[in-house]
Amino acid sequence: MQIQDLPYADPGVPDARSGPRFLWWLFRNQLGGQFKSLAWGLLHFLSVSALPFCVGVAVQAVVDHSGRRLALAGGLLALCCVGNAVGDTFLHRTAVTNWITAAARVQQLLARKAANLGSALTRRVAAGEVVAVSTGDVEKIGWFVEAWSRFTAAAVTIVVVCVGLVVYQPALGVVVAVGLPVLALSVLPLLPRATRRADFQREKAGRATELASDTVAGLRVLRGIGGEELFLDRYRRASQEVRHAAVRSARMWSLIAAIQVLLPGLLLIAVVWYGVHLARQGRVEIGELVAVYSSVMILTYPLRHFEEIAMAYSFSRPSATRAARVLSLERATPADGVATAEVPGDMPSGDLYDPATGLLAPSGRLTAVVCGDPDAAGLLAERLGGHPSEEGISVLLGGVPLDELPLDSARTAVLVQDKDPVLLSGSLRELLDVPASGDVGAVEALAAAQCADVLSALVQGSLDAEDPMDARITERGRSLSGGQRQRLALARSLFTDPEVLVLDEPTSAVDSHTEARIADGVRDLRTGRTTVVFTSSPLLLDRADRVVLVHDGEVAAVGVHRELVHKEPRYRAVVTRETDDEAALNHARHENDVRHEKDGVPHEHDVLHALEEIEESA
């Protein structure tokens, strides 16, 4: 897999049972790139490690006044230099490729999981953690996957060099062969503590990222209540905790690095001392001593990769654990034992029915749903879209369970716009570049959502945009008001024109005059299509063909707005936002009216009205 071939056609199904298993799965899926990196790494490290032998042969040739061996040593040196240059170049190329492709695979997996779970993702995992996984954690995971092949090449090189030294000069080679494994394993006792400190640092960094994400998302609200300084102080404290944790982690890694410098130095001193002793006895030639001495110096380079792989694993393991936790999340499926219908070949259509609450949205009608609990309304809206956050009975569309449909088919049939829709940065044309039926034009959708003033604001804010469709939208539409963002999101949903459109509080940030025009526009544009609107606005409820009151998780009343507002106290309490005292008073008046009607006694309002008519006629 090369960088130019990204993205993957299919990133695969990850082993998300644990962080180490996920890392191993990534490694197995990049065996081709790993073997390439290993091969080039061996060429590079072996070429570097062969230089001391060539120098030793050259020195001994000078001592022995052998021109032929000196020329041979020069040729070998040139060959090693070429191997070093070629190996290093392509090792870097393949290593970076492995890093980027591994990171890209993880990002594709996360993007696919986010698309699969929808808004249920941020309810099951903190938004800040998702951001941390898809940014910093992805890089650390790619680092470990990339570093493994280089570490393997370095380890093989050290083994080969030790064997070569024992064969080349047994007396000194045994010292090196015994000392190098001690050097490589000397930092093992420190690794658990270093790993714990790295985990603690990553945990603190993740909490700081979550706090920053939440603060940015709620910045408008914080400014309204004057809470910027409070959250700023919290983030400062979180940042200081991250800094302290990073310093403690860095101290441990600096100690490991110091040991990796100190011990090779001690080994070098031991080799030189013992080699000089052997040279005085005539058991070692000058060229052999130079070769062994130079080899020990050169081997400190591949030894560094032992420290790197330990550091890479320490940082990538918690990152892989967080990524595996996100990737292990699954869509909620129907509860066991629930009978399901056979899925037809064509896209299902018909009435939308939720067996859990008894909510029925007739096909081709505008149904308004009133629910006193906004959170419960949001959960019900998502369940109607076929992607609930909890297991339960599946919603039926035309008798077909949505949970049994392929995800793309379910979302093509039913589109859910939640109460806080996201606008991505880009032009208005790009915002409306979404899968659509083609029956509704962009101009019609924008007009129905009453976006005329929004288009004017976008054009004024974009210097080079003459066509409103080319006007730029800032990140998450932060330059727009809440009502403007809401209307653009509604226009996007109307432009998509799905078989069933579910809108959760689509006009909560819009003034009443605009809301009335939006209600008419949505009703006219969605004629013949199934539309479900979660709202408590009388303007929208009055335009609905059917109004459903959901109370305590089940349908409590069905009718039209004008009928329910007089006959159903619970409905009236939600729609008119009356207090408990007002509700009790209205209930008492209603019972009094009913009693007077039964007794045939005129109601006081009727008497007053009759007296007013008599006075006017007189």
Per-residue pLDDT tens over the stretch 410-421: 878 899 988 878
pLDDT beyond 60 at 4: yes
Q: What is the pLDDT of residue 306?
A: 83
- Give the Cα separation of 344 and 441 in Å (integer): 30
Question: Is 70 exceeded by the pLDDT of residue 602?
Answer: no
State percent of the chain over pLDDT 90.
25
Position 607 pLDDT exceeds 50? no
Structure tokens of 401? 């369970």
CA-to-CA distance for 432 and 489, rounded, in angstroms? 9
Q: Quick one: pLDDT band at residue 586, thresholds 50, 70, 90?
A: low
219: pLDDT confidence band, cut at 50, 70 and 90?
low
At 24 the three-state DSSP class reads: helix
* Least confident stretch, 96-100, 123-127, 614-618: 614-618
**Closest to 566 measured CA to CA, from 590, 599, 600:** 590
Q: What is the predicted pLDDT for the residue at 343?
A: 45
pLDDT at 463: 67
- pLDDT tens digits, one per residue of 29-71: 988 899 999 999 999 999 988 888 888 888 888 888 888 888 9
Question: 503 has which bridge partners?
Answer: 417, 533
Max alpha carbon distance in the chain (Å)?
144
Share of the chain above pLDDT 70, in %: 85
Q: Cα dihedral sign for 578, 579, 583, 585?
A: negative
Residues 6+ apart with CB under 8 A from 493: 415, 417, 421, 501, 503, 506
Lowest average pLDDT, out of 47-51, 226-230, 371-375, 483-487, goes to: 226-230
Amino acid at 572: R
Residues 366/523, Cβ–Cβ less than 8 Å: yes
Higher pLDDT, 441 or 205: 441
**Would you give the DSSP letter of residue 137?**
I
Label the pairing between strands 500-504 and 414-417. parallel
Report angle CA 482, 472, 469 to the nearest 5 degrees.
Answer: 100
User: Which tokens hold the place of 422?
Assistant: 């996201």
Predicted confidence at residue 502, as pLDDT, reads: 94
Assign 29 to helix, strand or coil: coil
Residue from 365, 381, 384, 364 nearest 373 by CA: 381
In whole angstroms, what is the distance from residue 508 CA to residue 419 CA? 8
b/e sequence 182-207, b meaning 16+ C-beta within 10 Å: ebbebbeeebeebbebbbbbbebbbb
Is the preceding peptide bond at 7 cis, omega within 30 degrees of 0?
yes
Contact 213, 205 (CB under 8 A): no
Q: Which residue has the tokens 């009502």?
A: 483
* Average pLDDT of every residue of the chain: 82
CA distance 182 to 310: 16
Look at residue 334 and tell me whether its pLDDT is greater than 90: no
Handedness of CA 379, 500, 483, 575 (dihedral sign): negative
| Tokens at 260, concatenated | 């990796």
Residue 401 dihedral angles phi and psi, to the nearest 5°: -65, 125
The pLDDT value given to residue 342: 45
Token pair of 578 as six digits: 């009356």
Cα–Cα distance, 49 to 200 (Å, whole number) = 38
**Is residue 297 exposed (0-12), middle (13-18) or buried (19+ Cβ within 10 Å)?**
middle
For residue 83, the number of C-alpha atoms closer than 13 Å in the C-beta half-sphere is: 18
Distance CA 188, CA 197 (A): 15
Reference 242, options 136, 159, 138, 350; nearest CA is: 136
User: Considering only 91-105, 317-331, 387-401, 593-607, which range has the smallest mean pLDDT?
Assistant: 593-607
Per-residue pLDDT reduced to its tens digit, 509-565: 889 899 999 999 999 999 999 999 999 999 999 999 999 999 988 999 999 999 998
Q: Which DSSP symbol is given to 6?
A: P
